[in-house]
Amino acid sequence: MVIEILPDDVVAQIAAGEVVERPASVVKELVENSIDADSTSIHIEVSGGGRRLIRVTDNGHGIHTDEVERAFLRHATSKLRIIDDLYRMQTLGFRGEALASIASVSHVTLVTRHKADQTGLRLRLEGGRIAQQQAVGAPSGTTITVENLFFNTPARLKFLKSENTEKRQIVSVITRYAMAYPHIRFVLEQDGRENFRSSGSGQLADVVVQALGLETFKNMVEVGGQEIGSDGSITAVYGYASMPNLHRTDRTRIMLFVNGRAIQDTSLTYAVIQAYHTLLMNGKYPVAILMIELPTQEVDVNVHPTKAEVRFRDGNTVFVAVQRAVRTAVIGHAQTPAMRGGYYNAQGGTASSSAWSSTAHEGQETANQLDMDLSLRDPGQYPRQQPISQNAATAIPEGMGTPAKPRTLPVLRVVGQVGATYIVAEGPAGLYLIDQHAAHERILYEQFMDTYGQERQMTQHTLGSQTVNFSPEEAHLLEGNLDLLRAIGFTLEPFGPNTFVIRGVPAILADSDPLEVVSSIPQDLELGKKPGHESVEDKIILRVCKQAAVKAGQILSLREMQSLIQQLERCRSPHTCPHGRPTILHMTSDQLAREFGRMH
Ligand code: ADP
Ligand code: MG
């Protein structure tokens, strides 16, 4: 083999592979350039999922005629001079690679006029080589048209996803930038159809409505918070996050931005998910749009060619900032899911299964949403449900000597029990149905967590000497975790090979058979070690609460129901059980009136 230096165009194509992976990456780079050029309006036209044509037109400052050619050279940039600039970066671009890369794998036509110049320039490049150049009259700003993407790299073409996937990716790129730059007006057209439009009002709320729909937005709460790092630098987090009744089956709607840049970050995504701990069921994920702002020297944006990932100097502070801000916002607003209207099916008169559902079906509206053109301005005008805790400030004194915790639910009057499973109650705002088991789990969980780690009195010593037998692996696992189990309230003593005596159990299990919980502990110990899972302690505590809670099918006396409701009224997060399932469904007086035809 002879070692040879690669010709320039091959080098360019190889390099292009890093930055221009797919049509959506071209859109991203061009839009970033338009934003960096101080545009207030950016128009994006796409056809054939970006393979046939991508055209981005902006009203930014434009490029001087004598610099246009240079803009297409590799490592040509107006944004960075010395390496230290990286840590003061205010612009989205800095690598000077995008235009060169895009041009090397497509046909590019650029028309630009710098705002200080009289005439503009039209330049055409084919596979990176200049094919045509002429002076033209043009409005100030820049239009770049990219055609026949990857025409000279057939291998890359083969790897492209379907046209529809690309179209969706492009919508996702544009909506994200629109959120990060609410004062810029974005219009996206694909195959002659308007896909998305933002008003450029400067309000993030407007863009969220325009991108995700009013229904989704109504189920989100405003997030705002900040954290001070060890060196005194401030990380601010703001945006919107879904209330627990709005969720999705994947994480794709957790959108994170750092200093105006959409980023991917597994750890921060997890911070958001954790903020919903015990509020969302397993496998359900929130919707969140979060802007993270911190001093530029705290972030390294140069870790990824497409700049999709960043590195934080103090990742922990950022993690805490995100988690705390979201948690505070969501807990403050968690509310009883209202039973949705249309309880009876219009045609058949049978109860529709979704009528009492507590879930806002967020995914379904997006397709139509893209056609929406709402020019709403004032974020205050969007109707929002009031958190119940606000209209129930008057606390009634609770049992003997317990300091009255603030009320998180209105005062509810128990009416009765249905199917030995649900409690029917009346409140100021209508009818409430409470799942007795889920509600009791929530109560026990919060009680447990309040005392956990502070005292030892939670252990109830058992009189008999019940023994449990495990497999050798399980026994080994238990043996290594006896201290942890003791902290939760389980006193287990080794007793012969793979066998343990139960000497004590958490006090709340006093009345139930501990065997079931104890036998499943090894399973929790096993799972809890995997990243992304709840901690072992948490899993076991959840199991204990589940076991101790009243079951469905158990008939309760009026007093028992009243006591349960009173305790639920004081829970910090009364609306979901610790597994994230709803504890309460609410049908408002209005909904009742509507269903009974009393409202027209
Ligand atoms: P980078 O953005 O990293 O600087 P690019 O290859 O994307 O590199 O762009 C090269 C240069 O071309 C930019 O630094 C900028 O000066 C100029 N440029 C590109 N697009 C535009 C635009 N839409 N408006 C004004 N200038 C632009
Ligand atoms: Mg750029």
pLDDT tens per residue, range 58-79: 999 999 999 998 888 887 787 7
Residue 108 reports pLDDT greater than 70: yes
524 vs 442, residue with greater confidence: 442
| Residue at 118: amino acid letter | Q
65 CA from centroid of ligand 1 (Å): 13
Is 350:600 a contact under the CB 8 Å cutoff? no
| DSSP code string of 151-190 | TT-HHHHHH---HHHHHHHHHHHHHHHHHH-TTSEEEEEE
Of 375-379, 467-471, 498-502, which gets the smallest average pLDDT?
Answer: 375-379
| Closest among 159, 186, 318, 169 to 252, alpha carbons compared | 169
Residue 206 reports pLDDT greater than 60: yes
- Is the alpha carbon torsion for 203, 208, 210, 215 positive or negative? negative
User: CA–CA separation, 376 vs 205, rounded Å?
Assistant: 9
State residue 336's pLDDT score.
Answer: 56
Angle of CA points 593, 597, 599, to nearest 5°: 60
| Closest among 268, 199, 281, 280 to 242, alpha carbons compared | 280
Highest mean pLDDT out of 284-288, 353-357, 447-451: 284-288
Mean pLDDT of 482-490: 88
Mean pLDDT of 570-591: 89
User: CA–CA separation, 138 vs 117, rounded Å?
Assistant: 10
Sheet holding 413-418: strands in order across?
413-418, 422-427, 430-435, 584-588
State residue 232's pLDDT score.
Answer: 87
By residue count, the chain amounts to 600
Of 72-76, 124-128, 260-264, 287-291, which gets the smallest average pLDDT?
Answer: 72-76
% of the chain beyond a pLDDT of 70: 84
Residue 428 reports pLDDT greater than 80: yes
User: CA–CA separation, 271 vs 321, rounded Å?
Assistant: 9
Residue 312 reports pLDDT greater than 90: yes
Question: Could you tell me the pLDDT band of residue 467, with boundaries at 50, 70 and 90?
Answer: confident
φ and ψ at 502, to 5 degrees?
A: -90, 110
% of the chain beyond a pLDDT of 90: 44
Which amino acid residue places its CA nearest to atom 8 of ligand 1? Answer: 96
Tokens of 228: 């001070």
77 CA from centroid of ligand 1 (Å): 6
User: CA–CA separation, 24 vs 174, rounded Å?
Assistant: 9
Tokens of 116: 């200080």
User: CA–CA separation, 194 vs 359, rounded Å?
Assistant: 30
User: Quick one: which atom of ligand 1 is closest to the CA of 144?
Assistant: 23
Residues with CB under 6 A from ligand 1: 29, 33-34, 37, 58, 60-63, 71, 76-79, 93-100, 142
User: Quick one: which atom of ligand 1 is closest to the CA of 99?
Assistant: 6
Of 73-87, 154-168, 170-184, which gets the smallest average pLDDT?
Answer: 73-87
State residue 31's pLDDT score.
Answer: 97
With 0-12 / 13-18 / 19 or more C-beta atoms within 10 angstroms meaning exposed / middle / buried, residue 47 is middle
Beta bridge partners of 418: 422
Of 5-19, 354-368, 443-457, 488-502, which gets the smallest average pLDDT?
Answer: 354-368
What distances in angstroms separate CA 376 from CA 178, 183, 209, 214, 368, one per listed residue? Answer: 15, 14, 9, 10, 17
Residue 200 reports pLDDT greater than 90: yes
Is 146:54 a contact under the CB 8 Å cutoff? yes
pTM > 0.95: no
State residue 380's pLDDT score.
Answer: 39
User: CA–CA separation, 103 vs 109, rounded Å?
Assistant: 9
Pocket test for ligand 1, best of 28, 34, 39, 77 (most atoms within 8 A of CB): 77
260's torsion region: left (phi>0), alpha (psi -120 to 50) or beta? left
Question: Could you tell me the pLDDT band of residue 160, with boundaries at 50, 70 and 90?
Answer: confident
State residue 36's pLDDT score.
Answer: 94
User: CA–CA separation, 57 vs 34, rounded Å?
Assistant: 8
User: CA–CA separation, 127 vs 104, rounded Å?
Assistant: 4
Mean pLDDT of 260-264: 92
User: CA–CA separation, 587 vs 534, rounded Å?
Assistant: 33
96 CA from centroid of ligand 2 (Å): 6
φ and ψ at 452, to 5 degrees?
A: -60, 130
User: CA–CA separation, 254 vs 267, rounded Å?
Assistant: 12
Tokens of 564: 């349960």
Q: Is 561 helix (H, G, I), strand (E, B) or coil?
A: helix
Question: Could you tell me the pLDDT band of residue 458, with boundaries at 50, 70 and 90?
Answer: low
Q: Give helix 23-36 / helix 163-180 axis angle, nearest 10°.
A: 20
258 vs 346, residue with greater confidence: 258
The structure tokens 């497509």 sit at: 106
Is 596:460 a contact under the CB 8 Å cutoff? no
Question: Could you tell me the pLDDT band of residue 33, with boundaries at 50, 70 and 90?
Answer: very high
State residue 564's pLDDT score.
Answer: 93
Tokens of 253: 């709607």
178 CA from centroid of ligand 2 (Å): 17
- Is the alpha carbon torsion for 223, 580, 265, 316 positive or negative? positive
Q: Is 402 helix (H, G, I), strand (E, B) or coil?
A: coil
User: Quick one: which atom of ligand 1 is closest to the CA of 58?
Assistant: 23
User: CA–CA separation, 425 vs 438, rounded Å?
Assistant: 15
Mean pLDDT of 85-101: 79
With 0-12 / 13-18 / 19 or more C-beta atoms within 10 angstroms meaning exposed / middle / buried, residue 155 is exposed
With 0-12 / 13-18 / 19 or more C-beta atoms within 10 angstroms meaning exposed / middle / buried, residue 458 is buried
Mean pLDDT of 318-342: 76
94 CA from centroid of ligand 2 (Å): 7
Question: Could you tell me the pLDDT band of residue 142, with boundaries at 50, 70 and 90?
Answer: very high
State residue 600's pLDDT score.
Answer: 59
Mean pLDDT of 237-263: 92
| Residue at 249: amino acid letter | T
Highest mean pLDDT out of 108-112, 217-221, 516-520: 108-112
State residue 191's pLDDT score.
Answer: 95
State residue 442's pLDDT score.
Answer: 94
State residue 427's pLDDT score.
Answer: 87
| Residue at 458: amino acid letter | M
What distances in angstroms separate CA 496 from CA 130, 285, 470, 485, 500, one per listed residue? Answer: 84, 45, 11, 19, 7
State residue 377's pLDDT score.
Answer: 30
Question: What is the pLDDT of the chain when averaged over all its residues?
Answer: 82
Beta bridge partners of 47: 53
Mean pLDDT of 312-318: 92
With 0-12 / 13-18 / 19 or more C-beta atoms within 10 angstroms meaning exposed / middle / buried, residue 5 is exposed
Residue 28 reports pLDDT greater than 50: yes
Neighbouring residues of the ion ligand 2, judged by CB less than 5 Å:
33, 93, 98
What lies within 8 Å, CB to CB, of 414 at 6+ separation is 423, 424, 425, 558, 561, 562, 565
**Tens digits of per-residue pLDDT, 404-415?**
677 888 889 999
DSSP 389: G
Mean pLDDT of 30-47: 96
| Run of H or E including 39 | none
User: Quick one: which atom of ligand 1 is closest to the CA of 29?
Assistant: 7
Q: How many CA atoms lie within 13 Å of 275's alpha carbon, on the beta-carbon side?
A: 32
What lies within 8 Å, CB to CB, of 360 at 6+ separation is 215, 216, 219, 245, 246
CB neighbours of residue 144 within 10 Å:
23
497 CA from centroid of ligand 2 (Å): 67
**Tens digits of per-residue pLDDT, 266-297?**
999 999 999 998 888 888 899 999 999 999 88
